[in-house]
Structure 1
Amino acid sequence: MTPCVDDYFFQHRGHMIVVTGGTGFVGREICRALRAEGLPVRAVSRTPSTALPPEVEFFPADITQPDSLRHAFHHAQAVIHTVGIIRESSSQTFSQVHLEGTAHVVAAARAASVPRYLHLSALGTRPLAASRYHQTKWEAEQIVRASGLAATIFRPSLIYGKGDASTTQLATLLQPPLSWLSGGFLPIPGGKQATLCPVSVASVAESVVRSLGQSQAVGKTFDLCGATTTLGDLALAVAHALGRQPTWVENNPDIILLSIPWLWLTRRKPILFPIPLPLCRLFAAVTERLLPRPPLTTDQITMLEEGQVGDSEPARQLLGFHTPDLSHGLAAYLAPRAGGAADRRP
């Protein structure tokens, strides 16, 4: 990465950069990117992780417990807030994590006189959003804007990379033993109607770190997104990255069910097919009542119905944002090795 010419942070490397959620999927990558620039990093999280670079300082804290943050930002030159959840549970709600958590982090940053604050939100965040996820993300952004901190907000789309919650799960479902249990069939919610703009986690981390040295980024909100695709095409791309030769069957679920024996005998596996989103919503509504952790939530279906649309041109112009072609990005961590096993590189 080439730092900016006027980059105070890269020129004065004695200052600590704090990453909340530093042991999470995105937080870890940001910690690695900061360390690659020789910057001292403190990861704030509830639990430690062996996946962090050894030079990263760990500070145990819970953003929903403000007292635990009292000393987390000591001597910090910048705070990068990455904590968020995509589904609620009995112990973690969107309001607790996105609203209260952000308010606590902002208050602690102000108390520590932190001069720079970077905030990870989500693409689709806006006033009067349909999903509760995006509603609370918007309210969290408003807390940041009203804080008086020198803040920059990022709205990444679906973030993919090794250890993510989307492509990694798809890869697991497309491979043995789960593919044996499913007979090689995999339903895709919304199929090729649900639009996405996947972005690599490395690209997100690089843009976040670059913004530290950009005074022009203060007060700005940046979309970080890749080329538009669909959930169906993403699943096909994951299968191809794994070295599989999938079959896409575009038909109604009832017809596909009747055709399972013929499809299984005549088509290459895995066999992927769409499930209409109204049917997915019904399934999600039922499982939300029956299961403590349903595979799909109605809030997620709402976001799939809306699709993802973003404009990353401002980030490209100011921060040099770039995300690789989806097939190349997936192959970097999913492509089989010579022995046939999926890539397990760190």
Structure 2
Amino acid sequence: MTILVTGATGFLGGVTARALAEAGHEVRGLGRDAARGAALERDGVRFVAADLRGADWDALLAGVEGPPVEGVVHAAARSTLWGHAADFHADNVAPSAALARACARRGVRLVHVSTPSVYNATGHTQGVREDTRVGPRFDSLYARSKWQAEEAVRAALPDATVLRPRGIYGVGDTSIVPRLAAALRSGRLPRLTGQEVWTDLTDVRNVAHAITLALARPAPGVFNVTDGQAIPLWATLDRLADTLGVPRPTRRVPARLLEGVAAALELGARLHPDRPEPPLTASGVRLLTRPMTLDLTRARERLGYAPVVTPERGFADVFAALRGGAA
């Protein structure tokens, strides 16, 4: 199968592109970073330099120098809790809609990677299902843009598979673990709750596995993806601190107080002409204090999904890489 992977120079896109190439598919990895593109080429992925904004999707799917594309994995996105609404629309909504329309015109299978951040403002936190009513309120511009992208994709291509992986981590992660590690090393991270927070996360290899399943069988609709086993977040943070050789968080700060401080910082940033990213966001605080588990019934029954990596194995690999200086 000839597969185009967007965001191939990023974390999830890179792992997915390499896994598909290793499985024998002809993979074209779309991205902007030439150095990472060269690394993809060494691993059997043909690098295609392109920007999501203004991309000629029909030409990319036609395969100018090779067979036409049969499947697309859209893993590229602006993934941050802060930014300008126009940028989120330009990077997340518009390209997703244009790509879905091109796939519809050419009869190409599409796996669109979204996020369970769309659930954050619903009030549902345990065993959240895909049919949970979402919107019109969202807790971040990112979540809103990803929901709008989902809506655009489903409108253009009803047969598309939309995946919502929760909290992607793993060796090579550029977001979750590095941010937490930086906060622990600086000593800035207080203990925000006296109770454990049980939450779902997803090893990047499990996401790549779900994507592979979605390419292999017709599975229209939306699917939650996780490791299938909630982790104790603060106990895991303690293990991370031990691995880094830094003190565990002990200074207690009420979560509500810190969330209020974050909201004030956000207001100040929004009033600033340049809208700089504040050092703390309310949605970021909530990620550390509010549990979230997702129901996997639909993914298990319709995709045949079962996690291939447990949280124990996933974090053991991450901690081993940290000790070896590779993450």
State the TM bucket, normalised to the shorter chain: 0.7 to 0.9
Q: Is 1:99 the counterpart of 2:93 in the alignment?
A: yes
Measure how far apart 1:235 and its partner are.
2.0
C-alpha deviation, 1:319, in angstroms: 2.7
TM-score, normalised via structure 2 length: 0.77
Aligned counterparts, 1:259-338, within 5 A: 276-287=258-269, 292-298=276-282, 300-301=284-285, 307-317=291-301, 318-322=303-307, 324-335=309-320
- What letter is aligned with 1:171? A
Whole-angstrom distance in 2 between the partners of 1:96 and 1:145: 18
- Which residue does 1:6 correspond to in 2? none
Deviation (angstroms), 1:322:
1.0
Q: Compared with structure 1, are the counterparts of its residues 186 and 36 closer, same or farther at alpha carbon in structure 2 (3 Å cutoff)?
A: same
Taking the TM superposition and a 5 Å limit, the aligned residue runs for 1:15-34 are 15-34=1-20
**Which of 43, 57, 64 is equivalent to 2:53?**
64
Change (3 A) 1:189 1:221: farther
Alpha-carbon distance, 1:120 to partner: 0.4
User: In the alignment, does 2:71 pair up with 1:81?
Assistant: no
**CA distance in structure 1 between the partners assigned to 2:18 and 2:112 by the alignment:** 18
2:102 matched residue in structure 1: 108
Q: Is the 8 A contact 2:190 2:252 kept in 1?
A: no
Deviation at 1:188, TM superposition (A): 4.4
Distance 1:187 1:286, change over 3 A: farther
> What secondary structure does 1:79 align onto?
strand
Larger Rg: 1
Structure 1, gaps ≥5 residues long = 1-14, 254-272
Q: Deviations over 1:266-303 (max 9, x none)?
A: xxxxxxx9973223333443456567333333554566
Separation in 2 of the partners of 1:44 and 1:326? 29
Change in 2 beyond 3 A, CA 1:193/1:345? closer
Displacement of 1:248 after TM fit? Answer: 4.3
Measured after TM superposition, the shift of residue 189 of structure 1 is 7.8
Measured in 1, the distance between the counterparts of 2:191 and 2:87 equals 24
Distance 1:33 1:167, change over 3 A: same
Query: What is the distance in 2 between the residues matched to 1:323 and 1:250?
Result: 37
Indicate which of 160, 175, 179 corresponds to 1:169: 179
Residue correspondence of structure 1 range 143-158 to structure 2 within 5 A? 143-148=152-157, 150-158=159-167
Closer/same/farther in 2, CA of residues 187 and 31 from structure 1, 3 Å limit: same
Rounded to whole Å, the distance in 1 between the matches of 2:298 and 2:202 is 15
**Correspondence for 2:214:** 211
Paired with 2:260 and 2:85, the residues of 1 have a C-alpha distance of 29
Q: Would the aligned equivalents of 2:167 and 2:201 in 1 still touch at CA under 8 Å?
A: yes
Contact 2:163 / 2:222 at 8 angstroms: preserved in 1?
yes
Aligned counterpart for 1:123 among listed residues 93, 96, 116 = 116
Query: Contact 1:194/1:230 (CA < 8 Å) preserved in 2?
Result: yes
State whether residues 168 and 204 of structure 2, in contact with CA within 8 Å, keep that contact through their aligned partners in structure 1: yes
Distance 1:275 1:198 in 2: 26
Tell me if the contact between 2:168 and 2:203 (Cα under 8 Å) persists in the aligned partners. Answer: yes
Give the Cα separation in 1 of the matches to 2:312 and 2:147: 31
- Which ranges in structure 2 are unaligned for 5 or more consecutive residues? 63-67, 119-133
Once the two structures are superposed, residues 147-194 of structure 1 have per-residue CA deviations (whole angstroms, 9 ceiling, x without a partner) of 1353111001110012320112323444xxxx3xx4xx3314845676
Q: Partner of 1:294: helix, strand, or coil? A: coil
What is the percent sequence identity of the aligned residues?
25
Please tell me whether the aligned partners of residues 333 and 344 of structure 1 are also in contact (alpha carbons under 8 angstroms).
no
Residue 16 (structure 1) shift: 1.2
Kept in 2: contact 1:98–1:140 (CA 8 A): yes
- Whether contact under 8 Å (1:130, 1:302) holds in the other structure is no
Of the candidates 140, 143, 146, which is equivalent to residue 137 of structure 1? 146
CA distance in 2, matches of 1:287, 1:39: 46
Distance 1:188 1:143, change over 3 A: farther
**Equivalents in 2 of 1:189, 1:156: separation in Å?**
26
User: Is the 2:192–2:253 contact (alpha carbons within 8 Å) kept by the matching residues of 1?
Assistant: no
Q: Deviations over 1:237-275 (max 9, x none)?
A: 3224x264754426347xxxxxxxxxxxxxxxxxxx997
What is the aligned-residue RMSD (CA, Å)? 3.2
Q: Give the 3-state SS of the residue equivalent to 1:22 in structure 2.
A: coil
Distance 1:235 1:323, change over 3 A: farther
